[in-house]
Chains A and B, each alone.
Chain A
Amino acid sequence: MESMSAVLTTGETPFLGAYSMTQEKVRQEDKAPRENRMTVGVPFVDDARMTCRGVNVYYGEKHAINNVSIDVGRNEVLAMIGPSGCGKSTFLRCLNRMNDTVEGCRVEGDIQLDELNIYDKSVDVVPLRAQVGMVFQKPNPFPKSIYDNVAYGPKIHGLASSRAELDEVVESSLKKAGLWSEVSDRLDQPGTGLSGGQQQRLCIARAIAVRPEVILMDEPCSALDPIATATVEDLISELQEQYTIVIVTHNMQQAARVSQRTAYFHLGDLIEVGSTDRIFTNPRHRLTEDYITGRFG
């Protein structure tokens, strides 16, 4: 396990003291230079739902995530942005141990959900993934009926004791996902027959049907058209009231629209974390600035 000292020094960067919610403009010459790989901004929050400390991820020899420490607050939407290949998905998948399924992937560090280290030997991934749900980049409904798609999670976890209860879970999940009105009359038809946007909302319904505490979304709108994207974005805003959401996106407008906090990753390093408004209006790191001003990405 990586030592916490690195994280603490990160926290004590000179810029931390200068940070304030008043969003005063940081002078260009005060911005962190490109060579600086320490996290700037405020990666930690009070009353965090999930805390990550000194997380390193390796794919065999490849070091994909380098010493990342960050908190995910309660009922907030945390957006993760960064150029392609910087490790956003990799980090996201650490949060519900989906990386366990990847051969040769090694995760080091400390990730806690409600004060419990999820990488502890005693932790069972099955209930963990029920607590931390996931929505993927490409809509991936099961090739089964719409009903079965949503009912699958509750069924395997034994969340519904009767058929009626299951019906109710399915209905409420579909309603929360904003899909109910569109599919209520064809629940027995295959989920794969829906349009892309509907499929993605079905996947969201499937994820929330097991009543998770955290929902991880990996570029959920990248395969959708603008209208479907808007629907899903609205949905995210609504879900925020009940769930903690971590969303990976390469669309900066989207991050700005749906999230309260934003984390910027660069080549496996967490470069900057802060409130979304501030990150987009007043980045403190040259790399963040380069990225949001479109100099690369």
Chain B
Amino acid sequence: MQAEKRETTMDRVSKGLARRYRRERWFRLFGLSAIVTSVCFIALLFVSIGANGWSAFQQTEVLLDIHFDKEQFDVDNLSTANYGALVKNSMQALFPDVTGRSDKRELNKLVSSGASYVLQKMVIKDTGIIGSTKKIWLPADDEVDMFLKGYISRDVAESARRLNDKQIGWIDQLVAEGRLEKKFNTIFFTAGDSREPELAGIRGAVAGSLFTLAVTLLLSFPIGVATAVYLEEFAPRNRWTDLVEVNINNLAAVPSIVFGLLGLAVFLNVFGMPRSAPLVGGLVLTLMTLPTIIIASRASLKSVPPSIREAALGVGASKMQAITHHILPLAMPGMMTGTIIGMAQALGETAPLLMIGMVAFIVDVPHGVTDPATVLPVQIYLWADSPERAFVERTSAAIMVLLGFLISMNAIAVFLRRKFERRW
């Protein structure tokens, strides 16, 4: 009798068991496929950006024998010398049989207009080279670069490409002589923006982003943490604090452009701060990231076990001491994670910056928070909108740099969480 009864219980359990496992399998399968799909999309994104952008890390340069002709230089005013002529002369020397005004023009177009600035810098740095002849690698024009990288095909009709048959002939000759080579693109990392793709770099945008983020971090972290601590530990629970809480959560969902409008109205129009400045950008992004930081900080304060609080209060710590000595240090990893995620969001923002004039062409690398500046995502947006084909690969390369920053920031967040995660 007893044995029979026990068997029926087991039977029932095992009958249900198959269904239970099936459900579990389905759930796991579902989760797995969701992850696989998203990983595929990310991989696709990275591959397409990488495929488009990797070539931008190389730039075609041309080796010219530049004769720093004494005649051309006025020792008192080195910057006004005709450096373009030095380049033209050496091109002429390489192709002596090119005559005629328009042919010469076409020939000189193969070298970037930036070549003369390179020479100018060299001379100003070392006047001793005046009078000598030097072999110098100079940036080639972006069309030449595109051609060598295979983005311009020689098979299409002459009228349909930006290089004519003669120019391609000269390029072939230069390549055969070993005077045209792809080299690591240092300009991309050291220069500010330019309308010539071969001279355009991300240094200005990176500096602008760093200044902007520095202002954002310096303001939003202390203010965010202070707000979170006040709301979580000191504020009485009443209708007002509920209202504040609802509003903070709302702010987190407000479209970022609204913060730009606010920044325009308050910081520029009322306080008269300069347009296009990282300072104002940082202030606007502070407004945008504050809700994120406050919400994350409150969550991590909440997650500190009450037993720690009681322990501190139990030995006679004041409320402030309990918070600063025990609760904040324990909540800090979570707060920092929230802050870094907020910063990463801020790093990718363009919309609010449009209103305060940071969507702009700025050549000079900013040196402070009031210098006009732009930021990485804006640089990407501006390049993506440029007609020159060489900007396509630079756009992708700049995206790679931005993604690099984002990934490292998020990696730091994960690292901090791992490192400071404590068991209690």
Give A residues with C-beta under 8 Å from B. Answer: 96, 98, 101, 103, 126-130, 133-136, 138, 140-143, 152-153, 156-157, 192, 203, 206-207, 209-210
Contact B308 A156 (CB under 8 A): no
- Classify chain B's interface size: 20 to 34
**Does B182 have its Cβ within 8 Å of any Cβ on chain A?**
no
Distance between Cα atoms of A153 and B311 in the complex (Å): 10
Instruction: Spot the interface stretch: B63-71, B93-101, B118-126, B317-325.
Output: B317-325
Contact A130 B316 (CB under 8 A): yes
Point out the residue from B309, B318, B325, B326 that lies within 8 Å of A126, measured CB to CB: B318
Contact B316 A192 (CB under 8 A): no
Distance between Cα atoms of A147 and B311 in the complex (Å): 15
Point out the residue from A129, A135, A142 that lies within 8 Å of B313, measured CB to CB: A129
Interface pairs A-B: 8 shortest CB-CB: A140-B307, A130-B316, A129-B316, A153-B315, A134-B314, A140-B311, A143-B422, A126-B318
Distance between Cα atoms of A129 and B318 in the complex (Å): 10
Contact A142 B316 (CB under 8 A): no
Q: Which of B163-209 contact A (CB under 8 A)?
A: none
Give B residues with C-beta under 8 Å from A. Answer: 237, 305, 307-318, 321, 325-326, 330, 422-424
Which of A103, A133, A134 has the most chain B CB within a 10 Å cutoff? Answer: A134
A127 to B, closest residue via Cβ:
B316
Contact A141 B316 (CB under 8 A): no
B423 to A, closest residue via Cβ:
A192
Point out the residue from A126, A136, A141, A209 that lies within 8 Å of B310, measured CB to CB: A136
**Complex interface: chain B residues within 8 A of A133 (CB):** 314-315
Contact B314 A96 (CB under 8 A): yes
List the count of A-B residue pairs having beta carbons below 8 Å apart. Answer: 68
**Complex interface: chain A residues within 8 A of B317 (CB):** 126, 152, 156
Known: A143-B422, A192-B423. A157 touches B316 (CB 8 A): yes
**Complex interface: chain B residues within 8 A of A207 (CB):** 314-315
**Complex interface: chain A residues within 8 A of B308 (CB):** 140, 142-143
Point out the residue from B305, B311, B315, B321 that lies within 8 Å of A130, measured CB to CB: B315
Contact B313 A101 (CB under 8 A): yes
Distance between A115 CB and nearest chain B CB, rounded to angstroms: 21
Distance between A16 CB and nearest chain B CB, rounded to angstroms: 36
Given contacts A136-B311, A142-B308, 16 further A-B contacts (CB under 8 A): A98-B310, A98-B313, A101-B313, A126-B316, A129-B315, A130-B315, A133-B314, A134-B310, A134-B314, A136-B307, A140-B310, A140-B311, A152-B317, A152-B325, A156-B317, A207-B314
Contact B315 A206 (CB under 8 A): yes
Distance between Cα atoms of A153 and B312 in the complex (Å): 8
Distance between B23 CB and nearest chain A CB, rounded to angstroms: 36
Known: A103-B237, A152-B325, A192-B424. A203 touches B311 (CB 8 A): yes
**Complex interface: chain A residues within 8 A of B318 (CB):** 126
Distance between Cα atoms of A51 and B321 in the complex (Å): 30
A103 to B, closest residue via Cβ:
B237
Contact B307 A138 (CB under 8 A): yes
Which of A96, A126, A141, A207 has the most chain B CB within a 10 Å cutoff? Answer: A126
Which of A96, A101, A103, A203 has the most chain B CB within a 10 Å cutoff? Answer: A101
**Complex interface: chain A residues within 8 A of B310 (CB):** 98, 101, 134, 136, 140
Contact B422 A192 (CB under 8 A): yes
Distance between A89 CB and nearest chain B CB, rounded to angstroms: 11
A-B contact pairs, 11 of them (CB 8 A): A98-B314, A101-B313, A129-B314, A136-B311, A140-B311, A141-B311, A143-B330, A153-B316, A156-B315, A156-B325, A210-B316
Contact A143 B424 (CB under 8 A): yes
Contact A101 B309 (CB under 8 A): yes
Contact A156 B321 (CB under 8 A): yes
Distance between A135 CB and nearest chain B CB, rounded to angstroms: 8
A128 to B, closest residue via Cβ:
B316
**Complex interface: chain A residues within 8 A of B325 (CB):** 152, 156
Distance between Cα atoms of A136 and B313 in the complex (Å): 12
A190 to B, closest residue via Cβ:
B422
**Complex interface: chain A residues within 8 A of B314 (CB):** 96, 98, 129, 133-136, 207
Distance between B259 CB and nearest chain A CB, rounded to angstroms: 34
Distance between B308 CB and nearest chain A CB, rounded to angstroms: 6
A96 to B, closest residue via Cβ:
B314
A134 to B, closest residue via Cβ:
B314
Distance between A71 CB and nearest chain B CB, rounded to angstroms: 23
**Complex interface: chain A residues within 8 A of B309 (CB):** 101
Contact A156 B307 (CB under 8 A): no
Distance between Cα atoms of A207 and B310 in the complex (Å): 12
Distance between Cα atoms of A163 and B422 in the complex (Å): 28
**Complex interface: chain B residues within 8 A of A140 (CB):** 305, 307-308, 310-311, 424
Distance between Cα atoms of A134 and B325 in the complex (Å): 19
